[in-house]
Amino acid sequence: MIIAIDGPAASGKSTLARALARRLGLTFLDTGAMYRAVTLAALERNLSPAEGAECAALAATLRLGFDPEGRVLIEGEAGEPAIRSGEVTRHVSEVAAHSGVRRALVEAQRAVAAAAVEAGGGVVAEGRDTTSVVFPEADLKVFLLASPAVRAMRRAAEEGRPELASAYEADLARRDAHDSQRADSPLLEVEDAVRLDTDTLSPEAVLDRAAALAAARRP
């Protein structure tokens, strides 16, 4: 079974996808972590995030994997917490806009899903473009929504810095705009996605709804 969770920055995609994968016994696939991993590796190699061809060549050759908890591995080494640094966050949308980077990572994401299905399981994939581009034939597509203020508050609380909520709101708005306006695979709410507004729902309530939808659609 393939489930795709889409939506804007900090809408709760990771929280839901990770919990849903655990509940259903599926593999959690964090596509954003892969774009962050390529961005981190590019910065470490002094590549410019603006250089599409160089970033694409890196994305095609960098060995990415996942540990059993679904945390990204870069050349076999833990990508966390370095992939969540402010510097990576500032540059990731620019790196993710290059078509060559997307081609390489989408191929890798489909390979993870194919292997999981082959083994009798499946994936819960999260990321902007998972419902529209990576897995258009997913058994279940969910589009998570939350207002900018709530998203910024959650992200700041997650990092133990609630006082930074308004600064985060500006950063999220900038990334949303960049992700929605890019030519290749913009953030898009597809017609057949089920929309869940998380402003008024607790994480448990979102999980229960998604799990019920998944149970109804399990092939």
In the complex, least distance from residue 6 CB atom to ligand CDP, rounded to whole angstroms: 8
In the complex, least distance from residue 216 CB atom to ligand CDP, rounded to whole angstroms: 25
Which lies closer to ligand CDP via its Cβ, residue 50 or residue 212? 50
Which tokens in the block code for residue 114?
Answer: 């194919």
Which tokens in the block code for residue 112?
Answer: 């993870």
Task: Count the neighbouring beta carbons within 10 Å of the beta carbon of residue 34.
Answer: 27
Which lies closer to ligand CDP via its Cβ, residue 42 or residue 216? 42
Q: Name the site residues for ligand CDP (rule: CB under 6 A).
A: 9-10, 14, 31-32, 35-36, 92-93, 96, 127-130, 175, 179
In the complex, least distance from residue 89 CB atom to ligand CDP, rounded to whole angstroms: 7
For the residues of the chain, what is the DSSP string, one character each? -EEEEE-STTSSHHHHHHHHHHHHT-EEEEHHHHHHHHHHHHHHTT--TT-HHHHHHHHHHS-EEE-TTS-EEETTEE-TTGGGSHHHHHHHHHHHT-HHHHHHHHHHHHHHHHHHHHTT--EEEESTTIIIII-TT-SEEEEEE--HHHHHHHHHHHTT-GGGHHHHHHHHHHHHHHHHH-SSS-----TTSEEEETTSS-HHHHHHHHHHHHHHH--
Which lies closer to ligand CDP via its Cβ, residue 169 or residue 179? 179
In the complex, least distance from residue 45 CB atom to ligand CDP, rounded to whole angstroms: 19
In the complex, least distance from residue 81 CB atom to ligand CDP, rounded to whole angstroms: 12
Partner residues linked to 94 by β-bridges: none
In the complex, least distance from residue 2 CB atom to ligand CDP, rounded to whole angstroms: 14
